[in-house]
Structure formats: structure tokens, C-alpha cells
Amino acid sequence: MATPDTTEFTVNRWADWSIDIEWTDSVGDPIPLTAPEIIEATPQLDGLLMIIETNLPLGQFKVFLEGSAGIPIGTHAFRVRALSGASHVALTQMLIKVE
């Protein structure tokens, strides 16, 4: 179940899924990023999530989930981390509910 510290998405089993992400600061200005990576993924998502870089200087990228592997039904989690200058920034936990 999603909490204020999580974001939850529902996907169909066997289906690919993606989400566009844009990192911004508190006033809505883009945060330039480098080296985004998936962290803290549950074992069922291991190797199935991929970052697609779209426009990192504007804080934009896509997370893609390869669904053809038949991810088990249930709720699975991951986070994304990237560099902004010399500091790491990370998204809240994302939950993928597979039905």
C-alpha cells in the first residue's frame, strides 16, 4: 500500500510499463542529473528495470519495465538515484502492483 513516502502504479502481468520522470526543485526548475540508476529493487524486478535517458540536463528520463518475463503477481518496489553535481538525489520508493 502506498504511503506519503511512496508512489504506487498498477500494471498488468506480461505487459511492458514505463514512466516519464522529471526531477525539479521546489520552485519547479529542472535539476540537472547524471548517472541515474535503479536502487533497492525487489528481487522479482532484478534485471527487468531500465533507465532510458531522455534529457538529463533538464532532469528528464524514463524508467522502463520489461514485462515479458512474467513478473509474479504482487507488489514490488524500487527507487531511482542520480547525481546532481556532486550530490546524490533519490526518488521516493515506487511500488509496482502486478495484477
CB 23 within 8 A of CB 30: yes
pTM of the model: 0.82
- CA–CA dist 43, 75 (Å, integer): 12
Number of domains in the chain: 1
pLDDT in tens, 28-54: 899 899 889 999 999 999 889 999 988
List the domain range (segments joined by +) for residue 77. 6-98
pLDDT of residue 27: 92
In Å, how far are 13, 44, 48 from 80, measured between CA atoms?
A: 22, 16, 14
In a domain, 87, yes or no: yes
Helix (H) or strand (E) holding 78: strand 74-84
In a domain, 1, yes or no: no
Residue 29 sits in a domain of what CATH number? Answer: 2.60.40.10
Please give the grid coordinates belonging to residue 72: 509474479
